[in-house]
Amino acid sequence: MRVTTLYGSKRPVISMEFFPPRDEKGVQAFTGTISELTAAGPDYMTVTFGAGGSTRDGSYQTVQLLLKEMRQPTVAYIAGYGLGPEDITAVLDKYKALGVQTIFVVRGDKPQDEGFKPHPKSFGHASELIAFIKGRYDFTLGCAGYPEGHIEAVSLEKDIDFLKRKVDNGAAYIVCQYFYDNAYFLKYVEKCRAAGIGVPIVPGIMPVYTLKMTQMLAKVCGTTVTAALRAKLDAVDAADKAAVLKLGVDFAVAQCRGLLHAGVPGLHFYTMNRAGSTKAIIDALKAEELF
């Protein structure tokens, strides 16, 4: 399955992101999550990637589970941090043999595995990894965009320059980091188009799952918890899990509604390996006949 074919033939494309389960109990829970979300009719699913040995194997096994056993169109991530060219080709050869056709390319972060040492010829930027893959494989490649700028970027404009380099080197679509104000995304798209980036740019949606998780992830990802969202968070009892989840669903539905009216090519949901919120959001949007 080539993602660009989807973005060229329907609107909106619905995609969902997952990370590899850590153990057998996690695999069982994951299988249940996928079964529940399949009913929401996603167009494809993605699996994140860890450069460390154990997490690398877990990524492959999860892609295999989705693609071969659960028959779900699947995109595999690859993160190049610390990996040498031979490591990269070994991973990609396995994905190619599995039947994967689309790879989502990120630089990635330092693995948490004890003793992990970066390869001296590892790729410092996603754009370099994209060029390496494009010159050797026939995968369709995707890359990440950051509507508020990458947390390490000196400026949004400079970050868009790096994004342009990714696209020039072979990335055929962009999936964005999540945000809580659509204005960030819409202005970002305008700036990207002005910079000559013409590929599909897809917004990422991260529902509020818990107050603690929202605050922690926003800090790590550099996402602004807006005044509008903060007011809603302050008004709910953090201990009332059902109320927090409902807040998250309602906020995301309104956000997605605005994005769909703006004509986005798709919606990419960061599920955190949970089914309830993502399915509720999609069901609500379908009830409004937004797709």
Mean pLDDT for the stretch of residues 227-251: 96
The H or E element spanning position 141 is strand 140-145
Mean pLDDT for the stretch of residues 127-137: 97
Q: How far apart are the first and last CA of the chain?
A: 21
Q: Determine phi and psi for 11, rounding to 5 degrees.
A: -155, 130
Q: What pLDDT, on a 0 to 100 scale, did the predictor assign at position 204?
A: 98
**Which of 177, 90, 190 is CA-nearest to residue 133?**
90
Residue 174 pairs in a beta bridge with: 143, 201
**Active site residues per annotation:** 17
Answer yes or no: are the C-beta atoms of 46 and 77 closer than 8 Å: yes
Tokens of 221: 């990802």
Q: Determine phi and psi for 204, rounding to 5 degrees.
A: -100, 140
Mean pLDDT for the stretch of residues 160-189: 98
Q: Does the pLDDT of residue 4 top 70, yes or no?
A: yes
Q: CA torsion, points 98, 1, 52, 223, in degrees to nearest 10?
A: -170
Share of the chain above pLDDT 90, in %: 86
Q: What pLDDT, on a 0 to 100 scale, did the predictor assign at position 57?
A: 84
Round the average pLDDT of the chain to a whole number and report it: 94
Q: What pLDDT, on a 0 to 100 scale, did the predictor assign at position 45?
A: 98
Q: What pLDDT, on a 0 to 100 scale, did the predictor assign at position 22?
A: 86
Mean pLDDT for the stretch of residues 206-228: 96
Regarding the domain delimited by 3-287, which CATH topology (the fold level of the hierarchy) does it fall under?
A: TIM Barrel (3.20.20)
Q: What pLDDT, on a 0 to 100 scale, did the predictor assign at position 80?
A: 83
Q: Does the pLDDT of residue 82 top 90, yes or no?
A: no
Q: What is the pLDDT of residues 205-215, one digit of tens each?
A: 999 999 999 99
pLDDT tier at 124 (50, 70, 90 boundaries)? confident
> Which letter does DSSP use for residue 222 in this model?
T
Mean pLDDT for the stretch of residues 168-194: 98
Q: Does the pLDDT of residue 104 top 70, yes or no?
A: yes
Helix (H, G, I), strand (E, B) or coil at 145: strand
Residue with tokens 């494809």: 44
Q: Does the pLDDT of residue 62 top 60, yes or no?
A: yes
| 63 exposure class (CB count in 10 Å sphere: 0-12, 13-18, 19+) | buried
Q: What pLDDT, on a 0 to 100 scale, did the predictor assign at position 54?
A: 47
The distance of Cα 127 from the centroid of its chain, to the nearest Å, equals: 17
Q: For residue 249, is it left (φ>0), alpha (ψ between -120 and 50) or beta?
A: alpha
Mean pLDDT for the stretch of residues 110-120: 71
Q: What pLDDT, on a 0 to 100 scale, did the predictor assign at position 118?
A: 77
Rounded to whole angstroms, the Cα distance separating 170 from 71 reads 28
Report domain extents, the chain. 3-287
Q: Does the pLDDT of residue 113 top 70, yes or no?
A: no
87-123 residues labelled b (16+ CB within 10 A) or e (exposed):
bbbebbebbeeeebbbbbbbbbeebeeeeeeebeebb
Mean pLDDT for the stretch of residues 259-287: 98
Q: What pLDDT, on a 0 to 100 scale, did the predictor assign at position 164?
A: 98
Q: What is the pLDDT of residues 9-56, one digit of tens each?
A: 999 999 999 999 988 898 999 999 999 999 999 999 999 996 554 467
Mean pLDDT for the stretch of residues 236-249: 96
User: Which residues are CB-contacts of 151 (< 8 A; sequence separation ≥ 6)?
Assistant: 220, 221, 222
User: Which residues are CB-contacts of 165 (< 8 A; sequence separation ≥ 6)?
Assistant: 125, 127
Q: Are strands 171-178 and 44-47 parallel, antiparallel or unpaired?
A: unpaired
